[in-house]
Amino acid sequence: MGGFERFTLPSGNKMLYCPTETFPPGKGTIQIADITAQDLNLFHSNLKDRSQPVNVLELGVGPGTFLVELASQLFVPSQFKFDGIDFDPLSVKLTKHNLKKIGIWRHIKINVEINNADWNHSETWNNFKNIYYHLIYFNPPYLHWEAEIPEKLGDTPQDMVRADGHGGLYHYRSVLKRLPSILSKQSGSSIVFRIPEYLDNKDLASNEEGSLGRVLWKDVIPQIPNAKVIYNNLAPYAKGHFCKIII
Protein backbone atom coordinates (compact mmCIF):
# COMPACT_ATOMS: atom_id res chain seq x y z
CA MET A 1 0.00 0.00 0.00
CA GLY A 2 1.40 3.39 -1.00
CA GLY A 3 1.71 6.63 0.89
CA PHE A 4 -0.41 9.77 0.97
CA GLU A 5 -0.20 13.54 0.71
CA ARG A 6 -2.14 16.23 2.54
CA PHE A 7 -4.17 18.94 0.80
CA THR A 8 -6.29 21.80 2.07
CA LEU A 9 -9.52 22.21 0.12
CA PRO A 10 -10.03 25.77 -1.18
CA SER A 11 -13.50 26.09 0.35
CA GLY A 12 -12.21 26.15 3.92
CA ASN A 13 -9.85 24.72 6.49
CA LYS A 14 -10.64 21.12 5.62
CA MET A 15 -7.59 18.86 5.28
CA LEU A 16 -7.80 16.02 2.78
CA TYR A 17 -5.47 13.02 2.84
CA CYS A 18 -4.91 11.81 -0.72
CA PRO A 19 -3.02 8.70 -1.97
CA THR A 20 0.18 9.68 -3.76
CA GLU A 21 -0.76 7.40 -6.69
CA THR A 22 -4.04 9.21 -7.48
CA PHE A 23 -5.00 12.62 -8.81
CA PRO A 24 -5.00 15.42 -6.22
CA PRO A 25 -8.32 17.11 -5.36
CA GLY A 26 -9.66 18.82 -8.50
CA LYS A 27 -11.47 22.15 -8.73
CA GLY A 28 -14.06 20.59 -11.03
CA THR A 29 -15.00 17.95 -8.46
CA ILE A 30 -15.21 20.58 -5.72
CA GLN A 31 -17.47 22.74 -7.89
CA ILE A 32 -19.79 19.79 -8.59
CA ALA A 33 -19.92 18.99 -4.87
CA ASP A 34 -20.79 22.59 -3.95
CA ILE A 35 -23.60 22.79 -6.53
CA THR A 36 -24.91 19.37 -5.47
CA ALA A 37 -24.85 20.39 -1.80
CA GLN A 38 -27.13 23.33 -2.58
CA ASP A 39 -29.56 20.98 -4.30
CA LEU A 40 -29.45 18.48 -1.41
CA ASN A 41 -30.01 21.20 1.19
CA LEU A 42 -33.18 22.20 -0.67
CA PHE A 43 -34.18 18.55 -1.08
CA HIS A 44 -33.77 17.91 2.65
CA SER A 45 -35.63 21.07 3.66
CA ASN A 46 -38.64 19.95 1.59
CA LEU A 47 -38.85 16.49 3.14
CA LYS A 48 -42.01 15.89 5.16
CA ASP A 49 -40.64 12.73 6.80
CA ARG A 50 -37.11 13.07 8.18
CA SER A 51 -37.12 9.89 10.24
CA GLN A 52 -34.93 8.18 7.63
CA PRO A 53 -31.56 9.45 6.36
CA VAL A 54 -30.98 10.90 2.91
CA ASN A 55 -28.89 8.26 1.14
CA VAL A 56 -25.87 9.38 -0.89
CA LEU A 57 -23.68 7.07 -2.98
CA GLU A 58 -20.44 7.82 -4.78
CA LEU A 59 -19.00 5.31 -7.24
CA GLY A 60 -15.25 5.89 -7.44
CA VAL A 61 -14.53 7.88 -4.27
CA GLY A 62 -10.80 8.41 -4.87
CA PRO A 63 -9.50 10.31 -1.83
CA GLY A 64 -13.05 11.41 -0.95
CA THR A 65 -12.90 14.90 -2.46
CA PHE A 66 -16.55 14.95 -3.53
CA LEU A 67 -18.02 13.43 -0.36
CA VAL A 68 -15.84 15.51 1.96
CA GLU A 69 -16.71 18.78 0.23
CA LEU A 70 -20.37 17.76 0.04
CA ALA A 71 -20.56 16.89 3.75
CA SER A 72 -18.89 20.16 4.68
CA GLN A 73 -21.49 22.20 2.76
CA LEU A 74 -24.64 20.40 3.91
CA PHE A 75 -26.74 22.17 6.54
CA VAL A 76 -27.53 18.95 8.46
CA PRO A 77 -24.98 16.27 7.38
CA SER A 78 -25.88 14.12 10.38
CA GLN A 79 -29.18 13.31 8.63
CA PHE A 80 -27.38 11.90 5.58
CA LYS A 81 -25.91 8.44 4.99
CA PHE A 82 -22.73 8.50 2.89
CA ASP A 83 -21.90 5.31 0.98
CA GLY A 84 -19.15 4.79 -1.56
CA ILE A 85 -16.92 2.30 -3.35
CA ASP A 86 -13.48 2.36 -4.92
CA PHE A 87 -11.19 -0.32 -6.32
CA ASP A 88 -8.19 1.11 -4.41
CA PRO A 89 -8.01 -0.01 -0.75
CA LEU A 90 -5.97 3.03 0.33
CA SER A 91 -8.51 5.43 -1.20
CA VAL A 92 -11.26 3.65 0.74
CA LYS A 93 -9.31 3.95 4.00
CA LEU A 94 -8.47 7.61 3.49
CA THR A 95 -12.01 8.56 2.42
CA LYS A 96 -13.36 7.12 5.68
CA HIS A 97 -10.72 9.04 7.61
CA ASN A 98 -11.39 12.30 5.74
CA LEU A 99 -15.15 12.09 6.30
CA LYS A 100 -14.75 11.36 9.99
CA LYS A 101 -12.54 14.45 10.21
CA ILE A 102 -15.43 16.53 8.85
CA GLY A 103 -17.60 15.11 11.63
CA ILE A 104 -15.04 16.16 14.24
CA TRP A 105 -14.71 19.60 12.66
CA ARG A 106 -18.50 20.10 12.71
CA HIS A 107 -18.98 18.37 16.11
CA ILE A 108 -21.35 15.75 14.69
CA LYS A 109 -21.30 12.07 13.82
CA ILE A 110 -20.99 11.34 10.10
CA ASN A 111 -22.73 8.13 8.98
CA VAL A 112 -20.25 6.54 6.55
CA GLU A 113 -19.87 3.21 4.76
CA ILE A 114 -17.08 3.10 2.15
CA ASN A 115 -16.07 -0.26 0.67
CA ASN A 116 -13.34 -1.67 -1.55
CA ALA A 117 -15.20 -2.88 -4.65
CA ASP A 118 -15.05 -2.91 -8.45
CA TRP A 119 -18.12 -1.66 -10.32
CA ASN A 120 -17.27 -4.05 -13.18
CA HIS A 121 -18.10 -7.06 -10.97
CA SER A 122 -21.68 -8.29 -10.62
CA GLU A 123 -21.29 -9.04 -6.91
CA THR A 124 -20.75 -5.33 -6.29
CA TRP A 125 -24.23 -4.59 -7.63
CA ASN A 126 -25.75 -7.47 -5.66
CA ASN A 127 -24.72 -5.60 -2.51
CA PHE A 128 -26.96 -2.69 -3.52
CA LYS A 129 -30.15 -4.74 -3.58
CA ASN A 130 -32.99 -3.14 -1.61
CA ILE A 131 -30.99 0.07 -1.15
CA TYR A 132 -32.25 3.22 -2.86
CA TYR A 133 -30.29 6.45 -3.08
CA HIS A 134 -31.47 10.03 -3.26
CA LEU A 135 -28.17 11.06 -4.86
CA ILE A 136 -25.78 8.92 -6.89
CA TYR A 137 -22.51 10.52 -7.97
CA PHE A 138 -20.69 8.50 -10.63
CA ASN A 139 -17.03 9.44 -10.83
CA PRO A 140 -15.45 7.44 -13.69
CA PRO A 141 -12.17 8.14 -15.50
CA TYR A 142 -12.84 11.09 -17.81
CA LEU A 143 -9.48 12.03 -19.40
CA HIS A 144 -8.87 11.80 -23.15
CA TRP A 145 -6.37 9.17 -24.30
CA GLU A 146 -3.96 11.92 -25.44
CA ALA A 147 -4.14 13.92 -22.20
CA GLU A 148 -0.99 14.20 -20.10
CA ILE A 149 -1.10 12.55 -16.72
CA PRO A 150 1.20 13.09 -13.72
CA GLU A 151 4.35 10.99 -13.74
CA LYS A 152 3.37 9.43 -10.40
CA LEU A 153 0.40 7.79 -12.15
CA GLY A 154 2.56 6.14 -14.79
CA ASP A 155 2.04 2.64 -13.36
CA THR A 156 -1.72 3.05 -12.92
CA PRO A 157 -3.79 0.93 -15.36
CA GLN A 158 -4.86 3.26 -18.17
CA ASP A 159 -8.51 2.20 -18.07
CA MET A 160 -8.60 3.53 -14.50
CA VAL A 161 -7.38 6.96 -15.64
CA ARG A 162 -8.78 7.53 -19.12
CA ALA A 163 -12.37 7.41 -20.35
CA ASP A 164 -11.18 5.56 -23.44
CA GLY A 165 -10.15 2.45 -21.53
CA HIS A 166 -11.43 -0.88 -22.90
CA GLY A 167 -12.00 0.64 -26.34
CA GLY A 168 -14.25 3.63 -25.65
CA LEU A 169 -16.58 4.85 -22.93
CA TYR A 170 -16.51 1.46 -21.27
CA HIS A 171 -17.16 2.57 -17.70
CA TYR A 172 -20.02 4.84 -18.74
CA ARG A 173 -21.68 2.14 -20.84
CA SER A 174 -21.38 -0.54 -18.16
CA VAL A 175 -22.37 1.53 -15.11
CA LEU A 176 -24.87 4.23 -16.09
CA LYS A 177 -27.54 1.74 -17.19
CA ARG A 178 -27.43 0.09 -13.74
CA LEU A 179 -28.01 3.26 -11.73
CA PRO A 180 -31.79 3.76 -12.21
CA SER A 181 -32.46 0.47 -10.39
CA ILE A 182 -30.89 1.84 -7.19
CA LEU A 183 -32.17 5.41 -7.49
CA SER A 184 -34.96 6.44 -5.14
CA LYS A 185 -38.24 7.25 -6.89
CA GLN A 186 -38.75 10.24 -4.62
CA SER A 187 -39.09 13.58 -6.40
CA GLY A 188 -35.76 15.41 -6.40
CA SER A 189 -33.61 12.27 -6.41
CA SER A 190 -30.79 12.50 -8.92
CA ILE A 191 -27.83 10.93 -10.70
CA VAL A 192 -24.82 13.18 -11.28
CA PHE A 193 -21.75 12.32 -13.34
CA ARG A 194 -18.72 14.00 -14.85
CA ILE A 195 -18.68 14.08 -18.65
CA PRO A 196 -15.38 13.21 -20.38
CA GLU A 197 -13.57 16.51 -20.87
CA TYR A 198 -13.20 16.02 -24.64
CA LEU A 199 -16.97 15.68 -25.21
CA ASP A 200 -19.59 18.41 -25.44
CA ASN A 201 -23.38 18.69 -25.46
CA LYS A 202 -23.56 17.47 -29.06
CA ASP A 203 -22.04 14.15 -28.01
CA LEU A 204 -24.72 13.79 -25.35
CA ALA A 205 -27.42 14.33 -27.94
CA SER A 206 -25.90 11.84 -30.37
CA ASN A 207 -27.66 8.59 -31.21
CA GLU A 208 -24.59 6.97 -32.77
CA GLU A 209 -23.71 3.47 -31.60
CA GLY A 210 -21.19 3.61 -28.74
CA SER A 211 -21.78 7.29 -28.02
CA LEU A 212 -22.48 8.61 -24.54
CA GLY A 213 -25.72 10.13 -25.84
CA ARG A 214 -26.98 6.74 -26.97
CA VAL A 215 -26.22 5.23 -23.55
CA LEU A 216 -28.00 8.10 -21.85
CA TRP A 217 -31.13 8.27 -23.99
CA LYS A 218 -31.53 4.59 -24.81
CA ASP A 219 -30.35 2.76 -21.66
CA VAL A 220 -30.80 5.24 -18.79
CA ILE A 221 -33.56 7.80 -19.29
CA PRO A 222 -36.29 5.28 -20.28
CA GLN A 223 -35.84 3.66 -16.86
CA ILE A 224 -36.55 6.93 -15.00
CA PRO A 225 -40.10 8.26 -15.46
CA ASN A 226 -40.38 12.07 -15.69
CA ALA A 227 -36.61 12.50 -15.63
CA LYS A 228 -35.05 15.85 -16.51
CA VAL A 229 -31.51 16.09 -17.88
CA ILE A 230 -29.41 19.14 -17.01
CA TYR A 231 -25.94 19.91 -18.38
CA ASN A 232 -23.57 22.22 -16.50
CA ASN A 233 -20.31 23.78 -17.70
CA LEU A 234 -17.39 23.59 -15.26
CA ALA A 235 -15.62 26.63 -16.73
CA PRO A 236 -13.76 28.62 -15.56
CA TYR A 237 -12.81 26.25 -12.73
CA ALA A 238 -12.10 23.17 -14.85
CA LYS A 239 -12.48 21.71 -18.33
CA GLY A 240 -15.61 19.92 -19.42
CA HIS A 241 -19.15 19.51 -18.13
CA PHE A 242 -21.19 17.44 -15.76
CA CYS A 243 -24.65 15.99 -16.18
CA LYS A 244 -27.52 15.76 -13.72
CA ILE A 245 -30.51 13.45 -14.22
CA ILE A 246 -33.24 14.41 -11.78
CA ILE A 247 -36.70 13.07 -11.06
Q: What is the pLDDT of residues 177-228, one digit of tens each?
A: 999 999 999 999 999 998 877 776 677 777 887 788 888 999 999 999 899 9
Cα angle for residues 142, 144, 145 (degrees, 5° grid): 125
| Residues 244 and 192 sit within 8 Å (Cβ to Cβ) | yes
Question: Residue 122 burial by CB count (10 A; 0-12/13-18/19+): exposed, middle or buried?
Answer: exposed
Predicted TM-score of the model (pTM): 0.86
- At residue 200, the pLDDT reads 67
Mean pLDDT of 137-154: 63
**HSE value, Cβ hemisphere, 13 Å, CA-based, for 247:** 20
Cα 177 to Cα 134: distance, rounded to the nearest angstrom: 17
| Residues 91 and 2 sit within 8 Å (Cβ to Cβ) | no
